[in-house]
Each structure stands twice: as structure tokens, then as C-alpha cells.
Structure 1
């Protein structure tokens, strides 16, 4: 006799995927703080102990659900520009919009894990990390530099840090408003500053 399907299980869906999906749904709607096995099991429509038939512990399941949440966010945000196409300003603006959107979707989730380093370590161990956009941004900048659209002596690593830092500052300021001392500038102003610099122009 085949095992009884969970009420929430789709046709052809494994219990493993169902549990990851249920955990991701909870993470997206209520965050990660104090997330329990019972909540995940009830959302999936299975008994509490079923989790341990597919995962070593709750930390592994939550880490895999976090990974899925990040990948879902990236899919929803769409494609990033290709080096050499469009204008540099427009492409950097798109990268910054993408970075802000990604941070808004994942930083609140990860901020709830500050007291649970085991889950963060599991997330790292499965080979994915929430800073993946930074790697793509840096690769884009290096490609533009190789094409001659960015000055050969420009420090693209520092540029990537500045843009990623802007996203952190902007999003963390909405999560912890008491810790934010300034209102972040608009993305267009950040892009102008990156492209033009702050030193006075020479005649």
C-alpha cells in the first residue's frame, strides 16, 4: 500500500519538497524568529516527526527553505543587464534596483536569525549565500571595464562595496529605524556620484 499523501501535497511532489515549501511559506509571511517544527508540520499537513525522515534536524530544513526563498526572490526580480548593452548609468541603476529589492525581501528574514548561527552555517554549507547579487554586480563591473566603458584604473571592487552598502543602509534603516541617522539618497543620486566622483573637476 502506498503511503497516504499529505493534504497540502501536490501531484508528484515529494514530502521533502513539500516541507521545504511549507517552511519557505512561513519564512516569507512571518519570518524565521522562533519558527517551530510544529508550525512547519501543520502548514505542510503532516505529523511533526515526518520532518526527521527527510532532514537531519530543523536547522537543515530551515536553511534549505532560506535558500529557496532567496532563489524565489531573485526570480521575481527578473534579469540583470548585460555588459556592453544599454548605458552604463541605466545598467547600474537597474543593478541598484535589483539589489534594493533583493535586500527588502531577504534581510528581514535573515535578521531574525542573529541568535541562531547554526542555521546560518547550514545555509552557507549548502553552497548558497544571500550576497550572490554582489558577485554578479562585481562580474558585471569587471566586464564593463574590460570593454573600456569603465576607466581601467577605477576600483570596481570598491564600487561594488559602495552599491551593496547603500542597499544595506537603506533596508536596515526600515527594519531598525532608531539606528538610522540619515535618510538615504535616491538611487539616481548614488549612481551619479559613482560615475562622476566627488573630487572637483580640473579645467
Structure 2
């Protein structure tokens, strides 16, 4: 048996399990300390493997970090739990739920994305991946379209603009929190939703 296998997995012949172990380790390091100074050696040591093992499963560090970023984003989406479907409760109640979920999601992922700005290849690969269908933004976009189809939003509602407002609030709060010395001001979720529905609510 190869001495290069992760200690936690050395009794397993499952290469996929080792790959997932490496991704999980890189994901944890990204979340805990960001990407700055995160080297192949640091990831390998944290995973309990020799440096070269990573290259048995990934073409380069960027591929591993892209997989780790996807894993982190997916984990944060799962943590949101189920989101409301069209036609349930009221649109205002549902949008407040979506906005609170979006704020929590962005607080968790924006710092990781910000730490990867010096590694644009990772962000490019992430953006080009095809695994975004269930991301919060896309789920929200489909929800808004379904509510318009049900007549619970104005037929001529500009849903792209509405989506930009809700996503923009999340970006604003998450990015502001990254600035040193900036007081944290929680978003007024009910006020945002009320103002938004003034523009796209049914007549």
C-alpha cells in the first residue's frame, strides 16, 4: 500500500475517497484562513499526505482550489435549508425568507471569494463550471418568475431589476463587513422587501 495515502484513508483503496478528503481539507483551510499563502504543501500537510499526492488527483493547485470553493459554496447552500416555493404564504413573507437566506449565504462565501482575488484562475474556473443551477440566485430568479406567472407579481415586473436589488443588498452587507473598522449594520429586510414590492407587486 502506498505510504502516500492520507493517514485517515490508508486502509481504503478508494481513490475517490482520497480525492474528496483533499477537497474537504482545502475547503476547511479556505474557510478558516483564506487563500493567501495557501500552498500545496500546506494543504498536503493538513490532509496528512505527501505533496505529490495532490497531483495524482488534480492537474494543479487551481483545480483543487476550484473544487474546494465549489464544495464550500454547496455546503453553505445546504445550510440554508429549503426555500419557499411560488404560491405559498405571501410573496412578502417569501422574499423576506429569501433575502435572509441570501444575507447568510453571502456572509459565509464572500470572504472566501475575496481571498481568491489574487488567484483569478480559480474564480474563472468556478464561474465556467456548470454546477450553478441550484445556487441561491438562480433559485430566487425562478421563484420570482413563477410568482409572476401566478399573477402574484405584476405582469410587466422587471424581474432582472428586482433580482439585482436583492442580490445587491447581500453583496453590500457582506462586502461592507470586510472593511476594517466599518460598523456592521444589518440589512432592514422588511423595509427592503416592502420597497421592492412597491415596484413589482400586482396592481
TM-score > 0.5, shorter chain as reference: yes
Q: What is the match of residue 55 of structure 2?
A: 52
| 3-state secondary structure, aligned to 1:175 | coil
Alignment counterpart, residue 84 of structure 1, candidates 87, 90, 97: 87
Aligned 1:172-183 pairs, distance under 5 A? 172-176=175-179, 183=185
Measured after TM superposition, the shift of residue 126 of structure 1 is 3.1
Q: Equivalent of 2:198, from 196, 199, 202?
A: 196
Q: Is the 8 A contact 2:145 2:159 kept in 1?
A: yes
C-alpha distance in structure 1 between counterparts of 2:172 and 2:133, whole Å? 16
Cα distance in 1, alignment partners of residues 124 and 72 from structure 2: 16
Alignment partners' CA distance in 1, 2:184 and 2:74: 31
Q: How much has 1:6 moved relative to structure 2?
A: 1.8
- Between Structure 1 and Structure 2, how many residues are aligned? 196
Equivalence map 1:2-21=2 (5 Å): 2-4=1-3, 5-9=5-9, 14-21=17-24
**Aligned equivalents of 1:130 and 1:41: distance in 2?**
31
Which of these residues, 39, 43, 48, is aligned with residue 42 of structure 2?
A: 39
Structure 1: state its 5+ residue gaps.
Answer: 198-203
Query: Judging changes above 3 Å, is the alpha-carbon distance between structure 1 residues 75 and 184 closer, same or farther for their aligned structure 2 residues?
Result: closer
Per mean C-alpha deviation after superposition, the further-off stretch among 3-12 and 73-82 is: 3-12
2:143 to 140, 147, 171: 140
The root-mean-square deviation of aligned C-alpha atoms, in Å, is 2.4
2:162 paired residue among 155, 159, 164: 159
Q: 2 CA distance for matches of 1:30 and 1:128?
A: 25
| 1:115 Cα deviation after fit | 1.6
Aligned to 1:123: 126
CA shift for structure 1 position 129: 5.1
Which digits, 9 at most, give the CA deviation of each residue in 1:10-60, with x for residues without a partner?
Answer: 865622111111101111111122211111101110001110111000000
> Counterpart of 1:3 in 2: which secondary structure?
coil
Q: Say which is worse superposed, 128-137 or 110-119, in terms of deviation.
A: 128-137
How far apart are the structure 1 equivalents of 2:180 and 2:38?
A: 24
Provide the secondary structure at the position in 1 that maps to 2:7. Answer: coil
CA distance in 2: counterparts of 1:67 and 1:183, whole angstroms: 28
Paired residue for 1:170?
173
